[in-house]
Amino acid sequence: MQTIIEIIMNSGETAVNLALYILMPVLVVMMALMRVLEDKGVLGFVAYKISPLLAFFGLPGLGVFALIQIQFISFAAPVATFKLMENDKSISNRQIAATLAAVLTISQGNAIMPLAVVGLNVPLIILTSIIGGLLASYLAYRFHGEDKTDKNLKKEKFEKKEVKKENKKFIPLLFQGGEEGFKIAVKALVPLILAILMVNILKEINLIYYLEILLSPLLTKIGVPGVAVLPIATKYIAGGTSMMAVVMDLIEEGRMTALELNRIAGFTINPFDPVGLALLVSAGSRVSSVTKPAVKAAFIGIIVKGIIHLIIF
């Protein structure tokens, strides 16, 4: 009983630290910025210009901001864009699915930068992320299929309505966006605690150890070194941050090389794990409703991305 209580307490402490000291600052700043850009018409203008280029992949123009945020900031940053998409009636559910699939496939900036210090090939991981992300978005858009939101959009295309803007001042807009970011971080706390609790339970029963024994022969046959089993298993059970810490320790100890890191980078550097998924779907009900097609498409995108790394390295 004492062990269970300790696991619950540790999971809660980790989740609170993650929500308060990592997610909340990022979300408050990003939501404040996005709210200002939205009110001033910048987001609408960029989305309008980019939409034709992304339409083939099922991505809305606003989706490009989510892709930039995940690639160059952190796995938490796209939540701000998903919140805007959640409330934007001009964006269909299948477009949200396409964006979520791409975000789950693309490598997050908060993992790329630290691992670059120990030999990660940054230009290549960015390139393969774009390839895998666009593939995932295309598949998720097709997997989801049309729904009521698509039919409503088709009807509204012929009725262009003028929206009267309130022309709010800069500082109130920043505060409004910041408050929204704060609420998102608080709302994400419950799924984060439960996701981390599940991860810690699996670690406590030595599942990672058994997975290492089970998967090592299989992975070595396809060119993945046996030492990579630990970071790969850690990634998909304990999350990307834990995986990054394991990789850096292995390289510092000389048990893993930069070449081996780049071989597994396509499979492991992405927010597709219990913690990352729980955070992203907390953006709203529309985002959580498209999880199934997005996850299926992201899985394929990550496999393709990982194979490219194995071929090159």
What's residue 61's pLDDT?
85
Spatial separation of the C-alpha atoms in residues 114 and 110, rounded to whole Å: 7
Angle between helices 42-54 and 24-39 (to 10 degrees): 90
Nearest to 293 by CA among 8, 37, 94: 94
Average pLDDT over residues 200-221: 78
Q: Which pair of structure tokens corresponds to residue 289? A: 């409703």
What's residue 187's pLDDT?
76
Per-residue pLDDT for 223 more than 80? no
Query: For 42-60, how does the pLDDT look when each residue is reduced to its tens digit (9 = 90+)?
Result: 877 877 787 788 889 999 9
The answer to whether 197 touches 13, Cβ cutoff 8 Å, is: no
Spatial separation of the C-alpha atoms in residues 235 and 250, rounded to whole Å: 14
Average pLDDT over residues 63-92: 88
The alpha-helical segments, DSSP class H, found in 106-121 are: 109-116
